[in-house]
Amino acid sequence: MPRSRRERLQYIQAARVVAIFLVVLSHTRFLFPPSDAVWSPAMLVILRSINLIFIFISGFLFQYLSASFHYPSYLRSKARNVVVPYLICSIPALFMFLSGMKDISETGAPAFVDSATEIALFLIFTGNHLTPYWFIPVMVIFYIFSPLFLAVDRRPRLYLALPLLFTLSFVLSRSPGDVSPIHNAVFYLPVYLSGMCVGHFREWVMPLLARWYPLLATAIFLPLLVDMGGFGSEGIYLISKLIFCLAVLGLLYRSIRDLPPVVGRLGDMSFGVFFVHQYVIAALEKVQDKIPLARLSGVLAFVFAALAVTAISLAIVWVVQLVAKHHSRQLVGA
């Protein structure tokens, strides 16, 4: 790959670091009581659906690497580096449900899901056993339909259908309780395709994003200005966070010339942080239960807690990499 193309992707590597911190930030709220400022409507406006940046980047990278696409090899790679670590990292959470330590009813499972096999299959296929894991079954659906996405990219006029898909997302909204990966895949489909579209037209789009990113960033407050009265509210969050995602990309494209090696390393470890960070949060919740003085409060503490969760998660991933070496991607995805 020519040196110039590698340099243009440095902002995507940096975006992966930003994306994983935003994901961790959104889930760190569970360390704070419901009455705290981090659960306020204003904070909800900022954090709700912020994790779609991961879906956008996935679409961008799929398009960027599509020239060497080979469907069987692609599926084998995703099975090895995404599905296998997903299953391995799911074991502790699955054990908690199967042993009765947690109630399956907390996940929104249908009433007929009661045997151990049914519980395990429901959790694996929905990702409802751990807060961020709904993302993996949705991405698996995208992996399966990747030849269709490739066909769209080779006929770029088909990207004109994006407004129609966003309209469909407004109508559908997000799956209640994230119990339907197919529902969520349809809901987030325009985000994935938008990532592909930006990747396809990046030579033209990225300079525009770099110029207008301050204005685009204000879209994160769009839900405060547009009240859908319930209907379409998830669609408003989808649009606002997608535009904010474009702003982040524009800022990084404008700012980054030579990516520090440490940032590139963190980008490579980001998927591993995704897999383990919720366990870190759960462990810190237990510590809070044992030590009342460890209760957290306030936005500043919220940011520091998210940084701590990210750092601990990175340390766990680093230890796994140190011990498992080249098998670490099959264990923690990095």
Residue with tokens 């129609």: 164
**pLDDT tens per residue, range 185-231:** 999 999 999 999 999 999 999 999 999 999 999 988 888 777 655 66
Residue 11 identity (one-letter amino acid): Y
Q: What is the pLDDT of residue 133?
A: 93
Q: How far apart are CA 103 and CA 97, in angstroms?
A: 6
Q: What is the mean pLDDT of each run of 10 residues along the chain (334 residues)?
A: 50 89 90 85 83 91 90 93 94 89 81 83 91 93 95 94 92 86 95 95 93 91 72 81 93 83 84 93 84 69 91 94 88 86
Q: What is the pLDDT of residue 294?
A: 55
**pLDDT tens per residue, range 118-130:** 889 999 999 988 8
- pTM, two decimals, is 0.89
Q: What is the pLDDT of residue 228?
A: 57
Kindly provide the b/e burial profile for residues 166-189, where b requires at least 16 CB atoms within 10 angstroms of the residue's own CB.
beebbebbbbeebbbbebbbbbbb
Within 10 A of 156 (CB to CB), how many other CB atoms are there?
A: 12
Residue 238 identity (one-letter amino acid): L
Within 10 A of 155 (CB to CB), how many other CB atoms are there?
A: 8
> Alpha helix (H) ranges present in 41-145?
41-47, 52-64, 71-78, 84-98, 116-126, 135-144
What are the residue boundaries of the structural domains of the chain, listed by start?
3-332
Q: How far apart are CA 60 and CA 199, in angstroms?
A: 5
